[in-house]
Amino acid sequence: MAKEHISHGDVHEIAPTQGLRLVDPTELWRWRELFVALIARDIAVRYKQTAIGIAWVVLQPLAMVAVFTFLLGKLGNVPTGGLPYPLFAFAAMVPWQVFSRALVEGSMSLASHRALVTKVYFPRILMPAAAVFGGAVDFAITLVILLGMMMWFGFAPGWPILLMPVLLLLALLTSLGVALWLSALNVLYRDVQFVLPFLAQIWLFLTPVLYPASVIPEKWRLLYAMNPMVTVTESFRWAALGGAAAPEPLMLAVSTVTVVVVLLTGIAYFRHVERQMADRI
Amino acid sequence: MSGFAIRAEGLCKKFRLGEKERYLALRDTLTRAAGAPFRALSRLASGQPLIHRIEREEFWALTDVSFEIAPGQVVGLIGRNGAGKSTLLKILSRIMEPTTGRALLRGRAGSLLEVGTGFHPELTGRENVYLNGAILGMKRREVRRKFDEIVAFAEVEQFIDTPVKQYSTGMYMRLAFSVAAQLEPEILLVDEVLAVGDSSFQKKCIGRMDEVGREGRTVVFVSHSMTAITRLCPRAILLDRGRVIADGPAAEVTAAYLRSDLGTMAHRTWPDPATAPGDRAVRLRSVSVIAEDGIPSATVDIRRPVTLEMSYDVLLRGYIPAPNFRLYNEEGVCVFITFDTDPEWRRRTKPVGRYVSRVTIPGNFLSEGTLIVDAAISTMDPATVHALERDAVAFQVIDSTDGDSTRGDYGGTVPGIVRPLLPWQTVEIDESFPTAG
C-alpha cells in the first residue's frame, strides 16, 4: 500500500515509500497552478523566440504532405476514397503533429529541466503532463490551415467535426502514457533521447496518416488498432472530411483499452522512478 | 507529540556511486541482459557460483541523523563540502527520499535551495516572477498581491517587461531572490543563497533572512560563511561525513568546527590503498600543504609561497593522469583550479609506480582566510576523474601587519578572492601644473 505523506493534523511525515503508487489527487490539486504556469511558459517561449515558432508548426506538416503528394503522384495511386491526396494526408497530419510533438517534448521534459528536479519539490508528473498538454496549442494553428484547405477544395465540415476534441484528447493521452514511460526511463538511461526521433518516425509509418487504414488487410485490423493513433487519425480524417471510413466501434474500443493500459502502467512506472529521480538525473 | 517544528529520526541516505556522476546507457543494460545467459553458462562450466553479487560502491551521505527543532528557531547547518548538508535539506524539502529513518514537519514548509530555479531567459521579468512563484509553490493571487514589493526589492522596475536574458547577473539574481524572499511558509529551508550578488545586495538578503527569523518562523540555513551563521542563527548543527557531530549554540559550534576541521588538516595520508580515494587506475596516497621551510603547515604567511603536494600510485599502464588542485575560500567560492602542466609528463603515459606532484603558489597572491583544497587526478581524453578528495586539506593564510603586503598600512577588511601584490607606478607628468596661490 502506498505510504507517503501521511498527515496527522498538520504534521507531514517524510519517510521512504514502498510499493505501487498511482496519482495522489489532493497533492496534484494543490499544485494545479504550477501545471498552468508550466504550460503558459512553454507556449510563451515557443511563440516568443521567433515568428518561426509558429511557422514551424505549419511548415513541417505542409512540407511532409507536399513531398508525399509529389512522390505518390509519381509512384502510383493511394486509395483515398475519392479525396484529394493533399487534403487526405493533411487532415490526418493535424492530430499526428500534435501527438508526435507532445511525445517528444513530454519524454524530454525531465532531462531538459534538471535544475527543477534537483532543486525544488513538486509532483514530478506535472512536467511531462504540462509538456504534453502545452502542445495542444499547435492544434489550433494547424486546424485553421486544415479549414483553409477544406474551403479551397470545397469541403464543408459537418457535425462529426464536434468529435475532434475527443480525438485530440485521445491523442494527447496516448502521448502522455508513452511520455511517462520514456521520460522516467530517460532519467535512468540517457540514451533514450536518441531513440525518440526514430520512434516517432517508425510510429508515423505504422499510422494511417499518409495512407488509408484500408490498405491493411481485414484480419490484421484489430492488431493494427492497438496503435491508438490508428483510430485517432482515421476518425479525425472522417470527422473533418466525411467519406466512408467512419470509425468502427470495435477498433475504437481496442484503441481505448490500449491507451488506458499504457497510461496506467506509465503512471505506475513513473511514480516508481520518481523516488530516485533527484538522485539519478 | 509536542512542541517541535522539525523532528528528524535516524535519517539515512545512501547513494550508489557512479550513478550520480555517470549515467547508464540503456544500450549497456540491454547488452548486459542479453549476455547474461551466456555468462551464466560459462560460470556453470567453470564451476563458479551462479549468483554473483555485483560490486557497487555505496556511499552514505547521511547516517542516523536525528535532531529536533522548535517552532520559531533559526538553525544553521554547517560542515565541509560533502558532509551531507545539502542532502539533508533535500530530504526535508521532499526532493529526495531518505533511505531509512523519517522526518516530521509541522506546518507548511518552503525551500530555497537555489534562487531563480526555472527562470527562463526568453521570458520577461514579470513572466518569470509568476513562473518562479508557481515553482516555489505560491498561488498566483499571492504573487500578484506582492508583485510591486518583489519588483521594488529587486530594484528592476524599469526592466520588468524586458526578457531576463538582457539582465545583468546582478539584476537577475536580485529578482530571483526577491521572489523567493516572499515565500511565507512556517518552515523555511535555505541553502547558501546568499553567496550571490554584490555585497550591498547580500546585506539586504541577510537583513531579510533576519526578518524572517524574527517573524517567528522556523528556519534551517546552510552556509559556508561562519559570519552569516553566527549572525543569523542562535543554534548550529555541525555535520561531518553524514553524521551530526555537534549541536548547540552557534558561536560554540562554529568555533569547534573551525578548530577541528580546518585548522589541523595540513596533511592527509591514506595508508590503506584499498580505501584510498581513486579507482583501479590511480589512487591518492597523501596530500599536504607545505610551507617554505619544507614542513607541513596549516598556517601560511600571505607574503610567502606555499606548496601543495600529492602523492599517488599509478596502478595501470596507459594512462596520462593529470593531478590537479582546486582551491575554495571559506565562502565556498572556487578561487582557482590548477593542473599539472609540467612539460616533462605532459601527454606522456605514466608507468606503474608511485609519484609525487607538487605545485607552488607564490606569496602575495592568495587572500587571507581559510583555503580549502580539493585534490583530484583526472585524465583528459576521455575526460574522467579517477580520484577526487573533496576538502582534502585546508590552510590558513595570515596577512602581515608590517605594511609590505597588498594591504599596506590599511587595517580594515580587504575584499577580493585573491590579494595579488601588483607593481604600481606613479610619475608626475606636468611640472608646470598651476599651484594654488
State residue B28's pLDDT score: 65
- φ, ψ (nearest 5 deg) of residue B375: -110, 135
Considering only residues B413 and B65, tell me which one the structure prediction assigns the higher pLDDT.
B65
Residue B52 pLDDT > 50: no
Nearest CA in chain B to A50: B122
Q: Which of A77-81, B151-155, B364-368 has the lowest mean pLDDT?
A: A77-81
B129 and B207 co-located in one domain: yes
pLDDT at A182: 95
Q: Measuring CA to CA, which residue among A157, A147, A142 is closest to residue A241?
A: A157
Q: Is there a contact between A14 and B91 if contact means CB atoms under 8 Å apart?
A: yes
Please judge whether A278 and B20 are an interchain contact, meaning their C-beta atoms are less than 8 angstroms apart.
no
Asked whether the beta carbons of residue A122 and residue B135 sit closer than 8 angstroms, the reply is yes
Q: Are residues B271 and B218 in the same domain?
A: no
User: What pLDDT score was predicted for residue B38?
Assistant: 65
Residues of A in contact with B90 (CB under 8 A): 118, 278
Q: Where is mean pLDDT largest: B90-99, B214-223, B424-433?
A: B90-99
CA distance linking residue B262 with residue B80, whole number of Å = 9
In a domain, B115, yes or no: yes
Residues of A with CB below 8 A from B19's CB? 279-280
Burial of B107: CB neighbours in 10 Å, binned 0-12, 13-18, 19+ = middle
Query: Do B222 and B299 share a domain, yes or no?
Result: no
* Site of grid cell 595520508: B269
Query: Considering the domain boundaries, does residue B337 fall inside one?
Result: yes
B290–chain A nearest CA distance, Å:
38
Q: Is residue B76 part of a domain?
A: yes
* B379-395 average pLDDT score: 84
Residue-wise pLDDT tens digits, A77-123: 777 777 888 888 888 999 999 999 999 999 999 988 888 888 889 99
Q: Which of B243, B261, B279 corresponds to the end of one domain?
A: B261
Task: Please compute the mean of the pLDDT values over residues B101-113 and round it to a whole number.
Answer: 88
Residues 80-139 of B with CB under 8 A from A: 90-107, 109, 111, 113-114, 117-118, 120, 122-123, 127, 130-131, 134-137, 139
By CB atoms closer than 10 A (0-12, 13-18, 19+), residue B231 is: middle
Provide the grid cell at A271: 511514480
B298: which 3 cell numbers?
596549516
Is B344 among the domain residues? yes
What is the pLDDT, as a whole number, of residue A3? 38
From the CB of residue B360, how many other CB atoms can be counted at a distance below 10 Å?
12
| One domain, residues B86 and B104 | yes
Structural domain includes residue B342:
yes
Which residue in this structure is represented by grid cell 513530454?
A: A106
What pLDDT does residue B305 have? 94
pLDDT in tens, A46-75: 777 666 667 777 788 888 888 878 877 666
Q: What is the pLDDT of residue B37?
A: 62
> Do B272 and B217 sit in the same domain of this protein?
no
Percent of chain A whose predicted confidence (pLDDT) is above 70: 92
Band (pLDDT 50/70/90 cuts) for residue B410 is: confident
From B97, B101, B122, residue closest to A45, measured CB to CB: B122
Please tell me the predicted confidence (pLDDT) of residue A6. Answer: 42
Q: Where are the domains of chain A?
A: 20-280
- Chain A residue closest in CA terms to B2: A11
Q: What is the mean pLDDT of residues B235-264?
A: 81
Residue B217: band (very low, low, confident or very high) from pLDDT cuts 50, 70, 90:
confident
Question: pTM above the 0.80 mark?
Answer: no
Per-residue pLDDT band for B55 (boundaries 50, 70, 90) equals: very low
pLDDT tens for B325-334 read 999 887 778 8
pLDDT for res B33 = 65
Residue B242 sits in the same domain as residue B335: no
Question: Count of domains in chain B?
Answer: 2
Q: Quote the pLDDT of residue B25.
A: 62
> How confident is the model over B377-395, as a mean pLDDT?
85
pLDDT band at A2 (very low <50, low <70, confident <90, very high): very low
pLDDT score for A163: 86
Among candidate residues B261, B292, B319, the one where a domain is terminated? B261
Whether ipTM > 0.90 holds is no
pLDDT for B423 beyond 70:
yes
CATH code of residue B232: 3.40.50.300
pLDDT at residue B300 in the model: 84
Q: What is the mean pLDDT of residues A126-140?
A: 89
Do B98 and B167 reside in the same domain of the chain? yes
Residue-averaged pLDDT of chain A: 85
**Residue B297 domain-assigned (yes or no):** yes
pLDDT at residue B390 above 90?
no
Per-residue pLDDT, averaged over B140-166, amounts to: 90
User: Of the residues B261, B295, B312, which one is the last residue of a structural domain?
Assistant: B261
Provide the CATH number for the domain around residue B375: 2.70.50.60
Q: Mean pLDDT over all residues of chain B?
A: 82
Q: Does B254 share its domain with B113?
A: yes
Q: Do B118 and A120 touch (CB under 8 A)?
A: yes
The stretch B372-392 carries a mean pLDDT of 86
Enumerate residues 6+ apart whose C-beta is below 8 A from B55: none
Say how many CA atoms lie within 13 Å of B105 toward its Cβ: 23
Residues with Cβ within 8 Å of residue B372, at least 6 apart in sequence: B80, B81, B262, B327, B328, B329, B330, B391, B394
> Is B218 within the bounds of a domain?
yes
Reply yes or no: is the peptide bond before residue B382 cis, omega within 30 of 0: yes
Q: Same structural domain for residues B255 and B297?
A: no
Could you tell me the three cell numbers for A192? 533514450
* Statement: residue B172 has pLDDT above 80: yes
pLDDT of residue B1: 45
**Residue B19, pLDDT above cutoff 50:** no
The C-alpha atoms of residue B200 and residue B415 are separated, in whole angstroms, by 13
pLDDT at residue B266 in the model: 81
Question: Per-residue pLDDT tens for A230-247?
Answer: 999 988 988 888 765 677
Residues of A in contact with B161 (CB under 8 A): none
**pLDDT for res A17:** 83
One domain, residues B161 and B237? yes
Residue A159 has pLDDT above 70, yes or no: yes
Residues A195-211 pLDDT 10s: 899 999 999 999 988 88
Q: Which of B92, B105, B113 faces A11 most closely, judged by CB atoms?
A: B105
Output the pLDDT for position A50: 62
**CA-nearest residue of chain A to B95?**
A121
- Domain hosting B302: range is 267-398
Mean pLDDT of the B340-359 span: 89
Which pLDDT score, from 0 to 100, does residue B323 have?
94
Residue A216 Cα, gap to closest chain B Cα (Å): 33
Angle, helices A136-152/A85-108, rounded to nearest 10 degrees: 170
Is A14–B98 a contact, with Cβ atoms under 8 angstroms apart? Answer: yes
